[in-house]
Amino acid sequence: LKNPIITLTTDFGNRDSYIAQMKGVILQHCPGASVVDLSHEIAPQNLMETALFTEAALPWFPPGSIHIIVVDPGVGTTRRPIAALAGKQLLLFPDNGLLTLFFKRSPIEKAVVIGKCPFIPDRISCTFHGRDIFAPTAAWLALGNVLESLGPQAEDLAVLPIAEPSFKPDGQIEGVVIHVDRFGNCITNLRDQDLPGNAMVHTDVSADLLPIRKTYADVHEGEILALLGSSGRLELALRNGNLASKFGIGSGHRIVVAPQ
């Protein structure tokens, strides 16, 4: 590997030195690494946002890319640090379910608990496994070492509870909101490929059936719309408004899609 790619996705922000420390550790052990910031602005400790982010972003990377994902409310507890291979990507993350959606698309081929790794220091911070465990492990893998060198196989990885769409005999598909983003858009568990052609969306916040739009600009300001986001999930939104707060919608809210 000439310039191995190591990406970083965290909720650390860019004001503190956390990310800088992680980059230092990676480059110390693997000076040729190409370190790529994906985001450090994940909403603090928000595992579902992390799951949606990684589902959307990681599939685009070349095989063999190494991804560190640290959104880690359980740091310092017994939750396990994991290294896994899925969809030809190498993934380093705390075992808290943050890759649940990515793994639905790209099943895990191999996963180990990160135990020993020559680059992990003897003394490990209780609160900063990004620097002391995940960064050195990424450098170790970037140098061509295999997952098996890190520790025993990991069983029973944590998963976020995400309802599956329900396909009815009459052609209706029932879904639920799984995330409300910071604009109040409501992202559902229904994906592009789940939907029939000419699908219409039934929701209790609109008397009308909603066609699936291509872009916000397809409706007027203040109007409710259903659209497929660029990552292929059905979303409900209010053009230039906050749908979730206006109608009190949260995760679990039910919507139904039916062929026209």
Q: Which residues bind a second copy (CB under 8 A)?
A: 2-3, 5, 7, 9, 13-21, 23-25, 27-28, 31-32, 34-43, 52-54, 56-62, 65, 75-76, 125-128, 131, 182, 214-215, 217, 230-231
Q: How far is the CB of 169 from a second copy (least distance, A)?
A: 30
Q: Which two tokens stand for residue 149?
A: 């060198």
Nearer Cβ to a second copy (120/258):
120
CB nearer to a second copy: pick between 80 and 129: 129
Q: Smallest distance, Å, CB 75 to a second copy?
A: 8
Residue among 10, 24, 6, 12 nearest 64 (CA)? 6
Residues written for the chain? 260
Q: Between 207 and 217, whose beta carbon lies closer to a second copy? A: 217
Q: Closest approach of Cβ 83 to a second copy, in Å?
A: 20
**Least distance between a second copy and beta carbon 251 (Å):** 19
Q: Quick one: 221 exposed, middle or buried, by C-beta within 10 A (0-12, 13-18, 19+)?
A: exposed
Asked if 117 contacts 71 with a C-beta cutoff of 8 angstroms, the reply is: no
32 or 171: CB nearest a second copy: 32
Q: What are phi and psi of 239, to 5 degrees?
A: -65, 125
- Between 154 and 189, whose beta carbon lies closer to a second copy? 189
Angstrom distance (rounded) from CA 167 to CA 121: 50
Minimum gap (Å) between residue 100 Cβ and a second copy: 16
Residue 3 CB, nearest approach to a second copy (Å): 6
Closest to a second copy by CB, 7 or 106 = 7
Taking the C-alpha atoms of residue 42 and residue 69, their distance in angstroms, rounded to an integer, is 10
